[in-house]
Structure 1
Amino acid sequence: MSSENQRRLAVLIDADNAPSAIIEGLLEEVANLGVASVKRIYGDWTSPNLKGWKETLLQYGIQPIQQFSYTTGKNSTDSALIIDAMDLLYTNTLDGFCIVSSDSDFTRLAARLREGGMIVYGFGEKKTPKSFVGSCDRFIYTENLRTDTEKETTPKPRKASNNDLRQDSWLVNSIRNAIEDSADDDGWANLGTLGQKITNKFPDFDTRNYGYQKLGELIRAIGLFDVDARISPSGLSKTIYVRDSRRRRS
């Protein structure tokens, strides 16, 4: 598999279940995960419902795949996307997939791609069924991918207060458990390892859901953990370590 920032990814978008307004934020997020070697979007392009997508495809170099709606009430777009994903899986030229949809019909596809050795990133709205979310290596809510223009008209997630964060028992316990799983003898855990362990257990964990851009910023805001920034011997890099504050008092 390629190094993380050079992972070759296939971005497959279900136009029926993803708004065109996310495209800029979506591709920026994908760029942080790897290289979008394949960009395809599926839908019935004769339908006026996809007008918003039609206006963005050329600008972002996304290949539209036509799929007529043969039967009312049946989503043939899903089938076309799934068939293409399996074809791409067997080309052995990719490292992972980005499936953009809020539809639970892609649950089995995500699981199958992971069985085939692919890393799978899911993108969908917060209404996405947990079955699909849990089948991905990581799931990113599209509400967090709004552009600056959208943020002007739609309030961005409020930063949770120190008190709100402390009262979120799921959040606090998830961080504490991840620290315990990865800490050294003195109770310190590498921040990067900590974040990966949380994401492995909860694919939809995202600091932006709490109004914070980075995990270190969120952990500092909670106020229940010690944070130590250690400079390398060369002085050229810095590594963040985190410890449960209760360890200090014990």
Structure 2
Amino acid sequence: MRHTRLKPTYDTVAKKIFQNKEVTKHFIADILDLPVKSVELLDGHQIRLPQDGLPRGFYTVTDILVELDDGTQVIIEIQIVKQRSFVNRLWTYICSQVHDNFENIRKEFQETHLIHERLYPVYGIALLEKNYFPDDKAFHIFSIREETTNQELTIKLKDSPKDHSLLKMAFLELDKYQPETFDKNQLKKWFEFFGNREFTAPLDKIIHQAEHALDFASWSKEEQAMFNDELDILEVNYSRIYWARE
């Protein structure tokens, strides 16, 4: 492991990482192979302690509005997942975002035929600490395709000359990663960064920026206090699980 204290998949640490818009922009572009022009952080990147007493470090969800090079806007849901039913959770967030988009556009335009041509595609990225798929592949991308021809279902969006995927869901199983099975550095660097592994290729400036979020000395006193409280809560819950098993 590169880091023993601030692991990239801890809730508070992940939020620090995704607060850097340049890091988030390049992460989405590399994982989903999209020509990302800019990103706007919508929700889930804020660092705050829960008011409901639930343990932190359990999962992270971040909502991002992405503008592509042709002006198309896409909503990206990023999850760092450690619990069961993560596919159900990711699908729920995607469906909820589609519904919210529809309602927001309906308030603005009223007429139904104007709403549908303005809906954003919604894609998801899941970073998994535990293996899920029954194969050796660490990286999967799913879309909606015709069963016999494998033709992808796409949509046309207003003012865009390109067809875009109706749905994309990318899954990075961090524990499965083997560097020799990847020939693209843009994927390897993210597996090694979020998997907390030693890097096998020279680091670019984006990974250096992402690594800066793991420098505890650069955090504010408030952020440091929140993270220490988060670890305390985790230790209590892990102790409860240990004694329950005993």
TM-score (normalizing by structure 2): 0.27
More helix by share: 1
- Larger relative contact order, structure 1 or 2 (CA cutoff 8 Å, min sep 6): 2
Larger radius of gyration: 1
